[in-house]
Amino acid sequence: MIQVTLETREGWQVAVVAGRADAEAADDLESALRTAIDQHPKVAADFRSLDYISSAGLRAVLQAARAARLRGGEFAVCALSDPVRKVFTMSGMHHVLRIYGELPC
Partner 1 sequence: MLEEVVLLAVDEKTGGLRSMREFGTAYALVGAVFFDLSLARRIDTGTEEIRIVDRTPTGNATLDRVLAEMAGKPHLTTVRQWIEEIFLRRDDLEGQALASLIRQGILRHELSKRLWIIDVERFPLVNNVPQQHVKVRLAQAILSDAIPDTRDIILVSIAEPCGLLGYILSGVELAARRQRIQTLCNLETISRKVTAAIAGLDANLHHGVTRMM
Chain contacts with partner 1 (rule: CB under 8 A): 22-24, 26, 52, 54-56, 58-59, 62-63, 65-66, 69-70, 86-87, 90-93, 95-96
- In the complex with partner 1, the residue whose CB is nearer, 24 or 38, is 24
**CA pair distance 11, 26, nearest whole angstrom:** 27
Q: Which amino acid is at 60?
A: A
> How far is residue 74's CA from residue 67's CA, in Å, rounded to a whole number?
10
> Shortest distance, CB of residue 30 to partner 1, whole angstroms?
10
Give the separation between CA 45 and CA 33, rounded to whole angstroms.
8
Q: How far is the CB of 91 from partner 1 (least distance, A)?
A: 5
Minimal distance in Å, beta carbon 41 to partner 1? 17
Q: If residue 53 lies in a helix (H) or strand (E), which one and from where to where?
A: strand 42-53
For residue 45, give the nearest of 1, 53, 56, 90 by alpha carbon: 53
- At its nearest, how many Å lie between partner 1 and the CB of residue 9? 25
Nearer to partner 1, 38 or 102 (CB): 38
